[in-house]
Amino acid sequence: MPLTDTAVRNAKPAAKPFKLADGGGMFLLVTPNGARYWRMKYRIDGREKLLALGVYPDVPLKLARERRDEARKLLANGVDPSAQRQAAKVATADTFEAVAREWIAKYSPSWSPVHADNILRRISRNLFPWIGARPIGAITAPELLRVLRRIEERGALETAHRAHQNAGQVFRYAVATGRAERDPSGDLRGALPPVNSKRMASIVDPVRIGELLRAIDGYSGTFAVRCALRLAPMTFVRPGELRKAAWSEIDLDAAEWRIPAARMKMREEHVVPLATQAVAILRDLHPLTGSHAFLFPSARTSDRPMSENTVNAALRRLGYTGEEIVGHGFRAMASTRLNEMGWPSDPIERQLAHAERNKVRAAYNRAQHMPERVKMMQAWADYLDGLRAGANVVPIQRSGRRA
């Protein structure tokens, strides 16, 4: 039941701290010394967090509820109230940290939660400790380079390049909003050694693909993880899209999986046509996890999806090293084989959910290629079945042409 003013006023301290719940995640924390704190527990991006709403009696019950309701409105719009409060505290200053947090608060609603979290963590750990408190308009290129060198010297060259890129975005935002006259990060082009890019490990040889598929069929771990392993090469979605798959996104009768824009890297809804084999796997899985939100819930709690390392750990358990195959490698597997088999690039790229650089073409393509994608996904699943069986598989055929 909700709290009353009388219950709050008469709350007596005990030997240990205790909570009096009000609703909507809000509670009154009563400490042994008699102090009473308003707190709100909430979840965002799968994480549980706590928001301070004030101290009783300076903040009475009515005001605490108003603050809770404001926080819940922010959450409904995908905004972390703690992060916004932190940004507001420094918004009046023109320090690098203040401008960076303002930039993140402004643009993060259009980013994926993972992307936003990665950027904030990267600049919080690598930039804020050294230039966070500096007036952004006073930071020079040599000063920024010294910070980037720190990152490079600990062996994190790719992180140094990404931090350089993020710093440039913050400086350009500062220029646009009148807090700086120029972006000093542009003077550092070429100052850091190049990163030797490494492709995601994948298996593209048909014979070895067949061996991998047979190994997956023999996986002795949990049934849900085995289903995830079987679906990964068949759907070739990104690992995060697979592990967070929700039953609400699946239409087994229509043989279709619609991933909402909020979960996609490119922030557009993505449709995955489901081959008959994929539908069969999902129908087998449904009695086990269909009562939960996620297809592949965590082993610890059904309220969360399986961890981001589950598929890779399962591949390691099957005896495949990280140099041979990773979860993301199933995308390269499908892309390589489908292109070599003659499927046109448009349906392949659309099924991979890659961004179209040409905006006019992107708008046109958004609704295109679905019939061919449906056909391609079924043909791909059939092809994988053939490889699994160890057959000398003939390349997929498309309407009379060799594919």
Q: How far apart are CA 78 and CA 180, in angstroms?
A: 30
Q: Please give the pLDDT value at position 363.
A: 47
CB-based contacts of 97, cutoff 8 Å, min separation 6: 90, 128, 132, 133
Q: Please give the pLDDT value at position 78.
A: 87
Residue type, 243: R
Q: Is 47 tagged catalytic?
A: no
Q: Is 45 helix (H, G, I), strand (E, B) or coil?
A: coil
Q: Is 238 tagged catalytic?
A: yes
Q: At 269, list the tokens.
A: 């809804």
Q: Which of 354, 369, 375, 398 is catalytic?
A: 354
Q: Which of 161, 265, 267, 398 is catalytic?
A: 265
Q: How far apart are CA 372 and CA 378, in angstroms?
A: 10
Identify the CATH class of 206-402: mainly alpha
Domains 84-188 and 206-402 in one fold: no
Instruction: Bin 201: left if φ > 0, else alpha if -120 < ψ < 50, else beta.
Output: beta
Q: Is 214 tagged catalytic?
A: no
* Every domain of the chain and the residues it spans: 5-78, 84-188, 206-402
pLDDT in tens, the chain (403 residues): 789 999 999 999 999 999 999 989 999 999 999 899 999 999 998 889 999 999 999 999 999 999 999 999 999 988 899 888 876 665 556 899 999 999 999 988 877 777 888 899 999 999 999 999 999 999 999 999 999 999 988 888 888 999 999 999 999 999 999 999 999 999 999 899 987 655 678 999 999 999 999 999 999 999 999 999 999 999 999 999 999 999 999 999 999 999 998 888 777 889 999 999 999 999 999 999 999 999 999 988 888 999 989 999 999 999 999 889 999 999 999 999 998 888 888 889 889 987 654 444 444 444 557 899 999 999 999 999 999 998 655 555 444 433 3
Q: Is 286 tagged catalytic?
A: no
Q: Is 328 tagged catalytic?
A: yes
Strand partners for 23: 26
Q: How far apart are CA 219 and CA 17, in angstroms?
A: 47
Question: Residue 288 CB: number of other CB atoms within 10 A?
Answer: 14
Q: Which of 238, 270, 292, 373 is catalytic?
A: 238
Q: Which of 293, 286, 296 is nearest to 249 (CA)?
A: 293
Q: Please give the pLDDT value at position 341.
A: 84
Q: Which of 65, 331, 350, 388 is catalytic?
A: 331
Q: Which of 101, 179, 292, 328 is catalytic?
A: 328
Sign of CA dihedral 111, 116, 122, 125: positive
CATH of domain 5-78: 3.30.160.390
Q: Is 265 tagged catalytic?
A: yes
> Which class for 233: exposed (0-12), middle (13-18), buried (19 or more C-beta within 10 A)?
buried
Q: Which of 89, 121, 125, 364 is catalytic?
A: 364
CATH of domain 84-188: 1.10.150.130
E strand or H helix at 116: helix 113-126
